[in-house]
Homo-oligomer: A and B are copies of this chain.
Amino acid sequence: MLYVIGTGPGNNQFITKEADEILKNVDSIVCYKGYKEFVEHYGKPIHNTGMTKEIDRVKFALEKAKTENIALVSSGDATIYGMASLAYELNNEYNYDVEVKTVAGLSSANMCSSILGAPLNHDFATISLSDLLTPFEIIMKRILCALEGDFVISLYNPLSTKRKEPFLQTMDFIKSYANDREINYIIGIVKNAGRDTEEFKITTINELMDNLEEFMEYIDMKTTLIIGNTNTKIIDSKMITPRGYFNKYIDNK
């Protein structure tokens, strides 16, 4: 049996009881090397060496899961930019004939929303800026559609040391879209969400573009951005997207 488990965005207190219970009972754990520190306290054998690629890692986990209960672990949620779909695809393609179960976890967007206040408190779109697997024109089309729909946007994988261009073009596009409409989107930037080194900034698209170099030094692959919709505001230093109760029942009285 293969459990594809998301353990939440950071330290162990953000795992669900379900995932915690399963991890206590599996025979061994397969995970990305950098993630070992978050699961070694379960005292299980951990397999992570020699598996630099996602496909090798998932195939290794499927092979072992023919005879053992294996947890294939990653941070966040198992399906939200996680390994779950790949596990089903490879299981089918190579006839491992293993039972695969997805175990949900808190995704980074949920966590970042709570850290910032409540920016995801209305309809939102989640977009990864990594163009490794998704053509950049599709990413840009999604950014445009999300802005047109006035969705709050959560941006995963914003930039890495090697991959800066998608971030630059996206921010440039959002700024010109916003300026054409006299909007200045509020942006929450959360780094290392749920870990001891967690930190965040709340800014705006104009301020970000005016200090682009500084922000690009700050943002990395462990950073998630939340771009507000046109109703998002700052209350008591928190980033809030109203759900509408207040406007309907109090402001319009």
Contact = CB atoms under 8 A, between A and B. Distances in A.
Contacts of A20: 17
Contacts of A114: 77-79, 84, 102-104
Scoring A81, A84, A138, A241 by chain B CB atoms within 10 A of each residue's CB, the highest score goes to: A84
A194 to B, nearest CB: 9
Interface stretch (A38-46, A64-72, A119-127): A119-127
A15 interface: yes
A245 B86 contact: yes
Contact of A12 (B17, B86, B102, B121): B17
Contacts of A91: 235-236
Contacts of A198: none
Contact of A117 (B54, B84, B138, B241): B84
Please tell me how many copies of the chain the complex holds. 2
Interface residues of A, number: 78
Given A13-B18, A16-B14, A78-B118, A133 B89 contact: no
Secondary structure at chain A's binding surface: helix, strand, loop or mixed? mixed
Contacts of A150: 138, 141-142
Contact of A86 (B78, B89, B107, B243): B243
Contacts of A171: none
Interface string A209-253: 000000000000000000000000001101011111110111000
A87 B111 CA distance: 18
Interface of A: 4, 8, 12-18, 20-21, 53-55, 77-82, 84-86, 88-93, 100, 102-107, 110-111, 113-115, 117-128, 133-134, 138, 141-142, 144-146, 148-151, 235-236, 238, 240-246, 248-250
12 contacts: A55-B246, A77-B110, A79-B119, A81-B122, A85-B117, A102-B113, A122-B134, A125-B125, A125-B146, A133-B248, A134-B244, A144-B149
